[in-house]
Structure 1
Amino acid sequence: MNFADVKALLNALDTASICDTNKNMRVIDPAIQPIQHGLKIIGRAHTVRCHDDFLTVMMALRDANEGDILVIDTQNSRRAVVGELFSTEAARKKLAGIIVDGACRDVEKIRELPMPVYCRNAYPISGTVNQIFETQIPVECGGVTINPGDIIFGDDDGLIVVTAAELASALPLAKEIQRKESHILKHMEQSESLFSMLNFDEHVDAVQKNRRSSLKFLVE
Structure 2
Amino acid sequence: MSSDNWTTPDLCDAAEQGAIAFAVMEPMFANYGGREQFCGPAVTVKCFEDNSKVKELLATPGRGRVLVVDAGGSLRRACLGDLIAQSAVDNGWAGVVLYGCVRDVDVLATLPLGVQAIGSHPQRTEKLGVGQIDVTVTFAGVSVAPGAMVYADNNGIMVTAEPLSL
Report TM bin, short chain: 0.7 to 0.9
2:7 maps to 1:14: yes
Matches within 5 A, 1:62-81: 62-77=59-74, 78-81=76-79
Percent of paired sites with the same residue: 27
Q: Does 1:48 align with 2:45?
A: yes
When you count strand as a share of all residues, which structure comes out higher?
2
Number of equivalences: 161
Matched, 1:142 2:135: no
* Residue of structure 1 in register with 2:158 after alignment: 160
Instruction: Give the superposition deviation at 1:41.
Output: 0.6
Question: For the aligned residues, what is the CA RMSD?
Answer: 2.1
Give the alignment partner of residue 94 of structure 2, picking from 81, 93, 96. 96
* Unpaired runs of at least 5, structure 1: 1-7, 176-220
In the TM superposition, residue 35 of structure 1 has moved relative to its aligned partner by: 1.1
Q: Give the AA of the match of 1:30.
A: P
Which is further off, 88-97 or 61-70? 61-70
Q: 1:112-136: per-residue Cα shift (whole Å, max 9, x none)?
A: 1111111000001111001421001
Looking at both structures, which has the greater relative contact order when contacts are Cα pairs under 8 Å and sequence separation is at least 6?
2
CA contact (8 A) 1:47 1:139 kept: yes
Report the equivalent of 1:113.
111
Unaligned stretches of 5+ residues in structure 2? none
1:57-109 per-residue CA deviation (whole Å, 9 max, x = no partner) reads 12222345321111100013221110000101101111000110010000011
- Which residue of the partner structure matches residue 28 of structure 1? 25
Contact map agreement 1:46 1:64 (CA 8 A) in 2: no
Amino acid corresponding to residue 20 of structure 1 in structure 2: D
Larger radius of gyration: 1
- Normalised TM-score (structure 1): 0.67
| Residue type at the aligned position of 2:12 | C
